[in-house]
Structure 1
Amino acid sequence: MAPFNVPHMSVVDTTVGNYFILKGSHVLLSRLGLGRNPKVWDESNKFKPERWSITHNESHIDLSEAKGDVILARPLVAIAKLRLPPHVYPC
């Protein structure tokens, strides 16, 4: 597993968590930082695979791969939800 997610690029000037991010900046997210944040997870340094069970509307999401490919057998749709306080997001 790579320590960071795939790089993203900011498409607008923005501020997240009191950090200013300039448009065009490359943004890297630490997988370890996200997965072991004690502000988010109880017992953040313990391996608890149930944290990562993927369900939506009480049903399991199929993450099986297509035969011979490195893609999912069924399309996966992501639904983003705001988690930080409203003042952090630009209007």
Structure 2
Amino acid sequence: MPAANRLTVHGRVQGVWYRNWTVNAAQDLGLTGWVRNCDDGTVEIHAEGEEEALDRLTVLAQDGPPAADVIKIDRSVVPAEGHMAFEKRR
């Protein structure tokens, strides 16, 4: 089973194409999982794959798309859910 991380991205990350950007970045890194907006204004990312790719996604997510303004990212290790692709959720 691959490694898995849950990222909670804080800042101006909704309404700036952050979820679409995350899907592209995760797919480029060979990761699976999902990304969704949360009611509190954060974006939540569940990513599964190789540790190195998870680390890289975390670094890239600090910048995100051009219109985003990321304040901080909370990262935790979580159980893998066995996703076959990376998708955007509502």
TM-score relative to the length of structure 1: 0.25
> Per residue, is there more helix in 1 or in 2?
2
Which structure has the larger Rg over C-alpha atoms?
1
Higher relative contact order (CA 8 A, sep 6+): 2
> Per residue, is there more strand in 1 or in 2?
2
